[in-house]
Amino acid sequence: MSSLLILGLIGFIGFLCQWFSHKVKLPAILFLLLSGIMLGPVLGVFSPNDLFGDLLFPFISLSVAVILFEGALTLKRSELKGIGRPVRRMVTVGVAVNATVMTFATHYLMGLSWSLSALFGALMVVTGPTVIMPMLKTVRPIPKIGDVLRWEGIVIDPIGALIAVLVYEWIAVQQSAAEFSEIFYVFGGTVAVGLAIGLIAGYVFGLLLRNHYIPESLHNFASLALVCLVFAGSDTLMHESGLLAVTVMGMLMANMRDVNIHSILEFKEDLTIVFVSALFIVLAARLEFAGFAALGWSALLLLLVMQFVARPLKVALSFMRSDFTWREQALIAWIGPRGIVAAAVSAVFALRLEELGVEGADKLVPLAFSIIIGTVVLQSLTAKPLAKILNVAMPSTHGVVIVGANHFSVAIAEALKKIDVDSIICDTSWEQLKAARIAGLNTYYGDPSSDHAKLHLNLSPYGYMLGLSNHFEYNVIQANRFREDFTARNVFILPPNQSTERFHKHTTSAQNSGRILFDERNFYSILKKNINNGGVVKVTELSESYAYENWRADNPDALMLLALRPDGDLEFQTLDTTLVAEVGFKLISLVTPNSQVSTDSNDKTNLSKEGKVDD
């Protein structure tokens, strides 16, 4: 193949891996690695060394620099204080415990030097959100477990990378310095240059953003250009200081006041997906089966130490005297896959250390990939059954995120609670959420599309979104936010407050909004009027003796809202689909005073409260 065709193939296969990962709810890294191995050592389609030549190391290094910078942008001191003592212990004491155990295990099992073992131990402390989040969507543990694992992945990403960078620089300095005193001098200089350049660059860039000297349309370009320049400049000025510089730069910008990094962070997240996809295919294509074979059974033993010693010990020490039960701690101890930072950073370090002639450096990459593949595969296959065995998994039915607090949405949430479906009502008005709080429902005070929500609103228990606020445009905005998490099929909004004749003129196109609930006649104002006039939301279970036809005969004017299928899925009445209820379905409907209210024993409960609906 031509070089041009190979580059195009790498990009397209990377996209397919990301898309398939989204579909099956497994970390994309697994499919990227398998694709790279197939293209490289198995089929021999291309050789990264031949394709990139002298640009291979700069390409990998700059990609890792962008990944580390993006991770550092997420580390804020204020959030570290508010994540709870167990998580703080996991990213501090737990990091030290995990690194120490893996250092000793690597040294004695793999025969690597203490320096390389310490480097590998530092690399193995990082989990990362890119491998944790897909797994949480599949496992669906109870919220408190999901919160811990999610926060650990977010916070430990830059911390682990920073520790690994420092250990690596210590090793690199040892190779270039003759005397022990000189090693300390060069290491101190490397750290000082990295810190200084990172702090200066981060502060200056933060000031430029704060004072609006850079047009908003150029924020993303400026950040990418500056990250590359800072990495290259720092590395040129003092060898091996570049990764430290970009990590420090990102951490400083994340904690500067009045510096809006939202668009930059989103851009870096998107860019990271592109770089990671290409990077992992390229790195996996460089692997050789001989390298894995040389590791022998020791690599498997090291994986077992990681899974059954290092991780459980870390969790046990971090959760001492906490309110987490042993079952909850057991699942947290089991889930800890290694991912992007471990593989990418190990590749950069291995290339550089091999150039410096460090013995054993060639084992770093196959060893890291062995642990990554082992933890991802093992935990992906076993975590969900284990969560069910431990009784710490959410019910099989995905919950519902409800946007907008009012009596209609509260009635819907209460009905869902009656059929054992979790829900959470989100609103920016504390007063509007009062009724939901009194009813004992889950609530989120804030905008569900905000930065705060991305970090604090755990979506793993949920799979549907209902836009039930009285503002159609606001519902559309939230629908766009949740389409990525729940897919367009599971995002629903009320129709706009317009007459039937003007409906299509004022309805946002389907690709830019959610599916329209009910029909064009039942918009917010009508639902509000029905509730104010005594309408109630009811739950009815259909059976052989009381089928849908019986229910409809008893409630001819009732509005079908949604239904819980026997298999646990929810179905909604929408503008483009008619809900067909069958035996075993649990119906949720809005019954108005004009309806004939059923008195059948299958009619479970009257759930809505009469009274005025607040806007």
All structural domains of the chain, each given as residue ranges with its CATH number in brackets, are 3-389 (1.20.1530.20), 399-606 (3.40.50.720)
pLDDT in tens, 510-553: 445 678 888 777 778 888 888 877 888 888 888 888 888 888 88
The helices-and-strands tally (H runs, E runs) of the chain is 27, 11
* Percent residues over pLDDT 90 in the chain: 12
**Pairwise CA distance, residues 398 & 140, whole Å:** 9
**Pairwise CA distance, residues 416 & 400, whole Å:** 9
Q: Which of 326, 515, 494, 329 is nearest to 408 (CA)?
A: 494
* Overall average pLDDT of the 175-183 stretch: 64
pLDDT in tens, 336-364: 888 777 777 787 788 778 877 788 888 88
**Pairwise CA distance, residues 112 & 124, whole Å:** 15
* Percent residues over pLDDT 70 in the chain: 87
HSE, CB side, 13 Å, CA atoms: give it for residue 224.
14
Q: Are strands 423-427 and 442-445 parallel, antiparallel or unpaired?
A: parallel
pLDDT of residue 597: 42
Residues in CB range of 459: below 8 A, 6 or more apart: 401, 485
pLDDT of residue 600: 39
The pTM of the full predicted model, rounded to 2 decimals, is: 0.66
DSSP 397: S
Is the pLDDT reported for residue 615 higher than 50? Answer: no
What is the residue type of 165?
V
State the distance between the two ends of the chain, measured CA to CA, in whole angstroms. 63
Is the pLDDT reported for residue 317 higher than 60? Answer: yes
Is the pLDDT reported for residue 229 higher than 90? Answer: yes
pLDDT of residue 106: 92
Work out the number of other CB atoms within 10 angstroms of the CB of residue 441. 21
Spatial contact of 574 and 581, defined as CB atoms under 8 Å apart: no
* Overall average pLDDT of the 604-608 stretch: 41
pLDDT of residue 230: 92
Residues in CB range of 429: below 8 A, 6 or more apart: 405
Q: Which residue has the tokens 């204020």?
A: 78
* Overall average pLDDT of the 195-217 stretch: 90
Spatial contact of 164 and 119, defined as CB atoms under 8 Å apart: yes
Q: Give Cα 32 to chain centroid, integer Å.
A: 17
The strand pairing partners of 425, in sequence order, are 402, 443
**Pairwise CA distance, residues 335 & 175, whole Å:** 37
74-88, 306-320, 499-513: which has the minimum mean pLDDT? 499-513
DSSP 41: I
Is the pLDDT reported for residue 80 higher than 80? Answer: no
Q: Which residue has the tokens 């979790």?
A: 422
DSSP 464: E
Is the pLDDT reported for residue 497 higher than 80? Answer: no
pLDDT of residue 613: 38
Per the prediction, the chain carries an average pLDDT of 81
Q: Which of 480, 173, 479, 145 is nearest to 319 (CA)?
A: 145
pLDDT of residue 15: 92
CA-CA-CA-CA torsion for 136, 137, 141, 142, nearest 10 degrees? Answer: 110
Q: Which residue has the tokens 């989040």?
A: 133
Is the pLDDT reported for residue 173 higher than 70? Answer: yes
Coil/strand/helix, residue 223: helix
Q: Are strands 536-541 and 462-467 parallel, antiparallel or unpaired?
A: unpaired
**Pairwise CA distance, residues 233 & 497, whole Å:** 57
SS3 content of the chain, % helix, strand, coil (to 5): 65, 10, 30
Tell me which H or E stretch contains 570.
Answer: strand 570-572
3-state SS of 247-261 is: HHHHHHHHHCCCCCC
Is the pLDDT reported for residue 379 higher than 80? Answer: yes
Is the pLDDT reported for residue 427 higher than 80? Answer: yes
| Long-range CB pairs of 349-356, under 8 A, 24+ apart, other chains included | 349/119, 349/164, 349/168, 351/56, 351/57, 351/60, 352/57, 352/168, 352/172, 352/240, 353/116, 353/168, 353/171, 353/172, 353/175, 356/172, 356/175, 356/176
**Pairwise CA distance, residues 302 & 48, whole Å:** 28
Q: Which of 459, 425, 463, 461 is nearest to 445 (CA)?
A: 425
Q: What angle do CA 474, 479, 481 make, to 5 degrees?
A: 100
In this prediction, residue 560 has a pLDDT band, given cuts at 50, 70 and 90, of: confident
Instruction: Check the CA dihedral 364-367-370-373 and report its sign.
Output: negative
Q: How many residues does the chain have?
A: 615
In this prediction, residue 152 has a pLDDT band, given cuts at 50, 70 and 90, of: confident
Give the strands of the sheet with 603-606, arranged side by side.
570-572, 559-564, 586-591, 536-541, 603-606
DSSP codes of every residue in 355-380: HTT-TTGGGHHHHHHHHHHHHHHHHH
Looking at per-residue pLDDT, the higher value among 571 and 500 belongs to: 571
